[in-house]
A and B are shown apart, each in its own frame.
Chain A
Amino acid sequence: MMTIPSKQIAAVVAAGVLAIAAQGAGADALDDIREAGVLKVGVKADYKPYGFLDPSGEIIGIEPDLARDVADELGVELELIPVVSSNRMQFLEQGKIDLMIATMTDKPDRRKVVNIVEPNYYSSGTNVLARKSLGLTSWEDLSGKPVCGIQGAFYNKPTAEKYGADIIAFKGTAEAYAALQGGNCAAFVYDDSAIVAKVAEPGFEDYEMPLPTIDDAPWGLAVALGEDGFAQLMSDMTVGWHESGRILELETEWGVANTPFAQAMHDEYK
Chain B
Amino acid sequence: MDAFFEWFRVLYDETGINLPFLYDDYDRNRMVDGFLMTVKLSLVCLFFSVVIGVVGAWLQGSTLKWTRRFVNGYIQLFRNTPPLVQLYFFYFAIGSQLPKVATDWGGQAPVLGSFAWAAISLSFFAGAFNVEIFRSGLEAVPKATVEAAEALGFSRLRIYTDVTLPLAFRVCLPALNNNLVNLVKTTTLAYAIAVPEMLYEANQIWSDNVNVTEMMVFLLIVYFLLVGVLVWSMNRWERALRIPGYG
Residues in B neighbouring A181, C-beta threshold 8 A: 96
Q: Which of B26, B104, B106, B207 makes the CB contact (< 8 A) with A152?
A: B207
Does B204 sit within 8 A of A, measured CB to CB? yes
A153 interfacial contact with B, CB 8 Å = yes
Within B109-126, the residues touching A (CB, 8 Å) are 109-110, 113-114
Contact check: which of B96, B107, B110, B200 meets A169 at CB < 8 Å? B200
- When the two chains form their complex, are residues A171 and B192 in contact, meaning their CB atoms are under 8 A apart? yes
**Chain B residues whose CB sits within 8 angstroms of the CB of A131 once the complex forms:** 107
Which of B192-247 touch A at CB < 8 Å? 192, 194, 196, 200, 203-204, 206-210, 212
Per-position contact with B for A137-162: 1 when CB-CB < 8 Å, else 0? 00000001110100111101100010
* Contact in complex: B108, A154 (CB < 8 Å): no
**Across the interface, do A170 and B26 meet the contact criterion of CB distance under 8 Å?**
no
Interface membership of chain B positions 117-149, coded 1 if the CB is closer than 8 angstroms to chain A and 0 otherwise: 000000000000000000000000000000000
Check: B95 CB closer than 8 A to any chain A CB.
yes
Return chain B residues, CB-CB under 8 Å to A86.
203, 206-207
Report the contact-size class of chain A (Cβ under 8 Å from the partner): 20 to 34
- From A151, A152, A157, A184, name the one whose CB has the most chain B CB atoms within 10 angstroms: A184
- On whether the beta carbons of A170 and B194 are closer than 8 Å, the reply is yes
Tell which of A112, A134, A157 touches B107, judged by Cβ atoms closer than 8 Å. Answer: A134
Q: Is there contact, CB below 8 Å, between B113 and A184? A: yes
Shortest C-beta distance, B29 to chain A (Å), equals 10
Interface size grouping (class) on chain B: 20 to 34
**Which of A134, A146, A156 touches B106 (beta carbons < 8 Å)?**
A134
B70 located at the interface, meaning its Cβ lies under 8 Å from any Cβ of chain A in the complex: no
Query: Which of A110, A153, A167, A178 makes the CB contact (< 8 A) with B210?
Result: A110
Task: Work out how many contacts link A and B, with CB atoms closer than 8 A.
Answer: 72
Contacts of B194 in A (CB 8 A): 148, 168-170, 179
Q: How far is the CA of A179 from the CA of B194 in the complex (A)?
A: 10
Quote the shortest CB–CB distance from A34 to chain B (angstroms): 30
Pair A151/B203 contact, Cβ less than 8 Å: yes
Residues of chain A within 8 A of B66, CB atoms compared: none
Cβ contact within 8 Å between A151 and B204: yes
User: Nearest chain A CB to B31's CB is how many angstroms away?
Assistant: 13
The 0/1 profile, CB within 8 Å of A marked 1, for residues 82-115 of chain B is 0000000000100110001001111111100110
With contacts A86-B203, A152-B203, A178-B96 taken as known, whether A112 is within 8 angstroms of B210 at the C-beta atoms is: yes
Contacts of B96 in A (CB 8 A): 178, 181-183
Contact (Cβ within 8 A) B204 A156: yes
- Closest residue of A by beta carbon distance from B195: A168
CB distance from A151 to the nearest CB of B (A): 6
Residues of B with C-beta under 8 A to A152: 203, 207
| Neighbouring B residues of A85 by C-beta, 8 Å | 207
User: Taking the complex as formed, is A15 at the interface, i.e. its CB lies under 8 A from any CB of chain B?
Assistant: no
Cβ contact within 8 Å between A169 and B204: yes
Q: Which residues from chain B contact A248 at a C-beta distance below 8 Å?
A: none
Q: Does A215 contact B (CB under 8 A)?
A: no
A178–B212 touching, CB < 8 Å: no
* A183 & B92 in contact (Cβ 8 Å cutoff): no
Neighbour of B109 across the interface among A89, A109, A156, A184, CB < 8 A:
A184
Please give the distance in Å from B59's CB to the nearest CB on chain A: 33
Q: How far is B210's CA from A113's CA once the two chains are assembled, in angstroms?
A: 7
Given A151-B203, A184-B109, A184-B113; A157-B95 close (CB under 8 Å): no
| Residue on B nearest A110 in the bound complex, by CB | B210
Q: Which of B26, B92, B114, B210 has the most CB of A within 10 A?
A: B210
Q: Once bound together, how far apart are the Cα atoms of A154 and B203, in whole Å?
A: 12
Say yes or no: A154 contacts B210, CB within 8 Å.
no
Supplied contacts A183-B108, A184-B113, 19 more A-B pairs, CB within 8 Å: A134-B107, A145-B107, A146-B105, A151-B203, A151-B207, A152-B207, A156-B204, A156-B207, A157-B204, A157-B208, A161-B26, A170-B194, A175-B92, A178-B92, A179-B194, A182-B95, A183-B96, A183-B109, A184-B95
- Which residues of B line the A interface, CB within 8 A? 26, 92, 95-96, 100, 103-110, 113-114, 192, 194, 196, 200, 203-204, 206-210, 212
- Interface pairs A-B: 10 shortest CB-CB: A152-B207, A182-B96, A145-B105, A168-B194, A183-B109, A113-B210, A183-B108, A186-B105, A86-B207, A186-B107
Listed by A's residue number, 24 A-B pairs whose Cβ atoms lie within 8 Å are A85-B207, A86-B206, A144-B104, A151-B203, A151-B204, A152-B207, A153-B207, A156-B208, A157-B208, A167-B204, A168-B194, A168-B196, A169-B200, A170-B194, A171-B192, A181-B96, A183-B96, A183-B100, A183-B109, A183-B110, A184-B110, A184-B114, A186-B103, A186-B107
